Amino acid sequence: MLETASPREMLVVDLIHGVTYIALVAVLITAAGAVDHGSGIRRCARRLLAVCLAVMAGFFTLGSSVQTVTQAEPPAVLEGIGSGVFLAMFLLAIALGVATLRTPGVRTSSLLLTALVPVIALTVLLGVLGSDFAHPGYAETLVNFGVALLGFRNAAVTGKPSETIAEKSAVGASLDQRA
């Protein structure tokens, strides 16, 4: 279906994709306290994953907008960077999932993020077999839900009804500065 989409329709899809990545970055920032729990490894994986997601947001929002206006293909170097960041996103999500398996309150997220290993393996196998179902979107969905649930669980465990996102961001930032 997307193969027949107009440039404007693709731009809308890419912008939604980019906004999703921006929201996931916000979740990783606000969930710092619940995720890091005093661990430098978890903090590092969370921060690097947030950087990867922010770069992907830039590619999907700014890059797609420029590509739609100019009707030009992006330079090969940008495609290489995008592919590398996309791969790093999966590796860092797996690392964060493994590192948080024993962290109270984030087990569901951890299980989704560690489930990337068999899902990626199955996707590769389907690709080798020539299946039309071999698509990284399945693994990407696990990353999205795994990260999103970090925020949901964080809000359910630590949030107060009066607490705003800005207040939670300030708490997450202060925890990052102490580290």
pLDDT tens, position by position, for the chain (179 residues)? 567 778 888 889 899 999 999 999 999 999 998 899 889 999 999 999 999 999 999 999 988 888 888 888 888 888 899 999 999 999 999 999 999 999 888 999 999 999 999 999 999 999 999 999 999 999 999 999 999 999 875 555 554 444 444 455 555 555 556 55
- Tokens (6 digits) for 141: 């969905």
pLDDT for residue 154: 55
pLDDT for residue 97: 96
Rounded CA-CA distance 86/140 in Å is: 9
Rounded CA-CA distance 140/93 in Å is: 10
pLDDT for residue 161: 43
- Name the DSSP letter for residue 159: -
Whether the Cβ atoms of residue 94 and residue 113 lie closer than 8 Å to each other: yes
Rounded CA-CA distance 151/179 in Å is: 20
Q: Where are the domains of the chain?
A: 2-172
Give the residue among 104, 113, 179, 157 at the shortest CA–CA distance from 168: 157
- Tokens (6 digits) for 14: 């890419």
Burial bucket for residue 142 (CB in 10 Å: 0-12, 13-18, 19+): buried
Rounded CA-CA distance 148/113 in Å is: 11
- CA torsion, ordered 107, 28, 34, 168, to nearest 10 deg: -140
CA atoms within 13 A on the CB side of 143: 29
